[in-house]
Amino acid sequence: MSFSLSRRHVLSGAAGLFVAGGIARAATPEVVAEGTPFAPHSFGVLSVPKSLPPLSVKDEQGNDVPLSRFYGKPFVLHFWATWCPPCIKELPSVNATAKALGQAGPQIVTVAVRGSTVAKVRAFYNAHGIDTLPLFVDPMSSVMMETADNTAMMASLKQTNPEEVTTQTGDSMSLHGVPRSLLLNAKGQVVAESIGNLDWSADGVRHTLEALAG
């Protein structure tokens, strides 16, 4: 079964781990665009934009990088993990989309969560030609959990994979649910979330951010 069609792998946390030689490996290095379209209907929209407390991720040198660095324009915050098969299959497509968007953006900020060390992420980037996305980690998944909105995630799941709704809870998705894409407005507020694989494209990112994040 294709990873992108199995959200049990996406959402089951430890049950979905897949590690080869300590580093998650994608089946093929080429870009594979699969999953739910990156479009407004694939996201659960928050009833009220969610303001965030000061939050920081770690860069490759171990420095704290505040999310506020990216405020000022709408952007995508994408959580993934080196142990997550759907994530490692999807990331080359995310990289290709970021490259197509170029300097004009909008920006895609990728953050690898708990269990994804800098060394593992760097090895994956090098092995799969990830040359445009930033390298950030969230060692304890604290930023991922803080930015989660359970209602929005469940709304996304109902729209994109309704058969999974009865097997998941907001709390489990908040803790283990990757890949996860959030849309933030220029103020740095979370306005929408989608969980699971997306079919990434530059036009899809532009249109969806414009429609939902202003």
Give the pLDDT of residue 52. 97
- Spatial separation of the C-alpha atoms in residues 146 and 148, rounded to whole Å: 6
Residue 117 near residue 137, CB atoms below 8 Å: yes
Kindly give the confidence (pLDDT) of every residue in the chain, 214 residues in length, as a single tens digit, with 9 standing for 90 and above.
222 333 334 433 333 323 333 333 333 344 554 678 999 999 999 999 999 999 999 999 999 999 999 999 999 999 999 999 999 999 999 999 999 999 999 999 999 999 999 999 999 999 999 999 999 999 999 999 999 999 999 999 887 777 777 777 666 676 678 999 999 999 999 999 999 899 999 999 999 999 999 8
Give the pLDDT of residue 171. 67
- Spatial separation of the C-alpha atoms in residues 183 and 189, rounded to whole Å: 8
- Spatial separation of the C-alpha atoms in residues 57 and 51, rounded to whole Å: 17
Give the pLDDT of residue 41. 95
- Spatial separation of the C-alpha atoms in residues 46 and 150, rounded to whole Å: 10
User: pTM for the full model?
Assistant: 0.85
User: Looking at 61-204, which runs of residues are DSSP E strands?
Assistant: 64-66, 75-80, 108-113, 136-138, 180-184, 190-195, 198-199
CA 212 to chain centre: 17
Which pair of tokens denotes residue 156?
A: 């996304």
Closest residue by Cα to residue 95 from 10, 195, 207, 202: 202
